[in-house]
Amino acid sequence: MSETKTIDLNELSKHVNETVRIQGWVHGLRGSNARQFLSLRSSGKIIQVLAEKEILGEDPFTEIKHLKQETSLEVIGKLVENEKSPIGFELILSSYKKVGESENYPITPKEHGIDFLLSQRHLWLRSSKQLAIIKIRSELSYHIRKYFHENKFTLIDTPILTGSIGESAGTLFSTEYFDLGNAYLAQTGQLYLETAIFAHSKVYCYGPTFRAEKSKTRRHLTEFWMVEAESAYVSHAENLKLQEDFVKTVIRETVASCRAELKVLERDPSPLLEYLSKPFAIVDYKDALDYLRSAGEDIVWGDDINSEREQMLCQKYGGPVFIQKYPREAKAFYMKVNPEDPKTVLNADLIAPDGVGEIIGGSEREENYETIIKRLEEEKLPVESYEWYLELRKYGSVPHSGFGLGTERLVAWICGLQHVRECIPFPRMMERLYP
pLDDT mean over 387-407: 97
- Percentage of residues in the chain with pLDDT exceeding 90? 93
Sign of CA dihedral 78, 83, 86, 88: positive
Residue 347, helix vs strand vs coil = strand
**Spatial distance between the Cα atoms of 207 and 114, rounded to a whole number of angstroms:** 27
Peptide bond connecting 427 to the previous residue in cis, omega within 30 degrees of 0: no
pLDDT at position 401: 98
The two beta strands, 35-42 and 45-52, are antiparallel
pLDDT surpasses 90 at 287: yes
Q: What is the pLDDT of residues 233-245, one digit of tens each?
A: 999 999 999 999 9
pLDDT value of position 170? 76
- Banded pLDDT at 166 (limits 50, 70, 90): low
Q: How confident is the model at residue 165 (pLDDT cuts 50, 70, 90)?
A: confident
Question: Domains in the chain, ordered, with CATH?
Answer: 12-100 (2.40.50.140), 118-422 (3.30.930.10)
Q: Where are the alpha helices (DSSP H) in 344-422?
A: 369-378, 387-391, 407-415
Pairing of strands 154-155, 89-100: unpaired
Q: Where are the alpha helices (DSSP H) in 258-347?
A: 259-264, 270-275, 285-294, 307-317
Which of 100-114, 140-154, 168-182, 339-353 has the weakest average pLDDT? 168-182
43, pLDDT greater than 90 = yes
**DSSP per residue over 62-101, as a string?**
HHHHTPPTT-EEEEEEEEEE-TTSTTSEEEEEEEEEEEE-
pLDDT for 245-285, tens place per residue? 999 999 999 999 999 999 999 999 999 999 999 999 999 99
pLDDT at 195: 97
Of 159, 205, 167, nearest in space to 187 by CA: 167
* pLDDT, position 3: 87
In this prediction, residue 1 carries a pLDDT of 47
Query: In the predicted model, is pLDDT for residue 110 greater than 90?
Result: no
* pLDDT tens string 118-139: 999 999 999 999 999 999 999 9
Give the per-residue pLDDT at 163. Answer: 85
Average pLDDT over residues 90-96: 98
Predicted confidence band of residue 53 (pLDDT cuts 50, 70, 90)? very high
